[in-house]
A and B are shown apart, each in its own frame.
Chain A
C-alpha cells in the first residue's frame, strides 16, 4: 500500500487575519513497508502533514492518494481509509475514556461492526503487540496505569483497527527513558514482524537515527530534505540552520575529522562511531 502526496497545500484560517500557510507544495510518496522518520521544529508542518494521511484534514489544494484513492473524492470511503492508515496523536492517553483497558481498545473494532469473537481476538492481539498482559491489565481502569502503560493502551486502540500504515506523532513525548525504550521497541518490532509501514514524527535525532530507514525533514511547511539517515545527517550544518540537532555520533565524527582523524563519511550510529574511534586510536590507546 502506498500513499502518494501531490502538490499538497494547506492554509489555516484561510481569509482570516491569522491566515497561515502550514503546508507549501509538498509532494511525497510513502512506499509500502518503509520506516520513515519525520523531523522538523515546532510549526514546521509535520503534524499538519500527518493529519492529511488519513483524511482528518483535507487539502486546501493538491491531492493525497491512499492506494490510488483520492481522499477528497466524495466517492472514496474515508472510513475504509482510516482503517488502513492508523494515526496515533501526541499524548494519545489523553483520549482514553472507557471504564476498562479492554473496552477502550475494543472501541474502534466495535464501531466497525465486528462480531464479539473477532473483537476479542483483536483486543488480545493488540495488547500482546504493545506488551501489556491481558490477564493482568484488561479489566483494570486505564486511570490506574502508569503513563507509559496508558500510552501503550492508546497505541493498542489504533493497532486493533489493524492498519497497514501506522503514523505516530511524537510517540515518546513526555515519557521517562524506560518508557521511551519500551515504545520505540514495540514500534520497531511491529515494523519488523508485521511489515507495517511506519511514519514516526520525532524531535529526537538519536531515536530517528536508531530506527528510521528514510528521513524526511520539514521546514516552513516544505520538505527540505528526503533521504537515508546517512544522507540527511551528513548535512549537519543545514540541519542546525533550521533549528534541528544532529545525533551526537555525527557531531563527534565531524569534530574528530576537523582534528585530522580519518573518520569515514556518513557515520551516524553509535556502533559505527565506536568502531571508527577504535580504528583511529589504533593499538596505542589500548590496555597492554
Chain B
C-alpha cells in the first residue's frame, strides 16, 4: 500500500451484510478519503451510505474486503481505539451523543478514557472548544444549547482526540438552517485551516455542492462519483437515483431545455448571475 500516506481512509472490495440479511448493505466498494479532502457521500435512504460510514471507524467490521484507516486494518481488534482516535465520528441526533452535564467535561470524555494526562486534557479542551468557537460555553450545561451548538460540542469532542479525518453521519439533519450553516462553516474551516479530512453523509444537495469530491451510493454500490460539478450536471441520472440537484443546477437544466445556452454545471446563485451577465452581453 504505497499510497497509504496520502489517503486517510481506503476501502478495498468492501462488503458488509447485516445479520440474516440476504443482500450486502455495502457491496464491493472501492474508495478513499484523501489527505485534506472534503468528501460528500450521498444516496437515498437504504442506499448503504450510513453503513459505509460506520465501517470507516470500526463501528462495523467488514464481512468481506478491507478498510484501512491511516494504514490500520479495522478488523484488527487491538487497533480499534487507535482507529477511532484517528477517524472521529459525529452522529445525527445531538441529544444522543452528549454524555456529560457540563460542556467541557463532555469534550474531555474521550481524552479521559484514553488516559491522557490532566494537564494535556486542559490544553486540548481549550483548543478544541476554540476551534469550534464554543469557548464561552465551556462551563454551560449542554441541554441549554441550541442544536447547532450541541453539534459543535460533539465536533469538539472528536477534535480533542486530534483526528486525521472527521466523519459526519447526517449531522445536520435535525438542525434548522442557521444551525446547519454553523456546523458546515465549522467543518469547512477545520478542513481548510487544520488540514483535517472530512467525510460528510448528507441529504442536502447544497451541502454536497461544497465538497471537493462526491460519491453517490445506490444498492450498496458506488453509482456515481466525481466533483459536485461533474455529478450534478447529470441531472437525470442523479434524479433516477432518488436524489435531487441544487436549485440553480435545476434552473440551468430548465433553461437549457428552453434553448438558452447557459452552462450546465452551474451550482450556485453567484455562478448563475455570472452566466446571465455573460449571455446578455453577447447580444
Contact = CB atoms under 8 A, between A and B. Distances in A.
B203 A261 contact: no
Contact of B261 (A43, A174, A277, A285): A285
Given A43-B146, A175-B45, A206-B247, A248 B269 contact: yes
Size band of the interface chain A makes with B: 35 or more
- Between B176, B243, B254, B273, the greatest number of chain A beta carbons within 10 A of the residue's beta carbon is seen for B176
Contacts of B176: 41-42, 203, 243
Contact of B283 (A244, A255, A284, A287): A284
A195 interface: no
B100 interface: no
A256 B255 contact: no
B255 A278 contact: yes
Interface stretch (B5-13, B78-86, B120-128, B274-282): B274-282
Interface string A275-288: 00110111111110
Nearest to B47: A176
A206 B43 CA distance: 21
Contacts of B244: 177
Interface in B236-283: 242-244, 247-248, 250-251, 254-255, 258-262, 269-270, 272-273, 276-277, 279-280, 282-283
B64 to A, nearest CB: 25
B117 interface: no
B273 A252 contact: yes
A146 interface: yes
B226 interface: no
Interface string A110-152: 0000000000000000000000000000000000001110000
A173 interface: yes
A249 to B, nearest CB: 7
A274 B174 contact: no
A284 B279 contact: yes
A248 B242 contact: no
A277 B255 contact: yes
A281 B44 contact: no
Contacts of A280: 276, 280
Contacts of B277: 259
Contacts of B269: 248, 251-252, 255
A33 interface: no
A286 B45 contact: no
Nearest to B43: A176
A116 B121 CA distance: 64
B46 interface: yes
Nearest to B173: A174
Interface string B135-152: 000000000001100000
A59 interface: no
A176 B44 CA distance: 5
B214 to A, nearest CB: 14
Given A243-B177, A285-B279, 10 more contacts: A41-B178, A42-B175, A174-B92, A244-B177, A252-B251, A274-B251, A277-B251, A281-B280, A285-B282, A287-B259
Interface of A: 41-43, 146-148, 173-179, 203, 205-206, 243-245, 247-249, 251-252, 255-256, 259, 261, 270, 273-274, 277-278, 280-287
Nearest 4 interchain pairs by C-beta: A284-B283, A285-B279, A178-B242, A177-B244
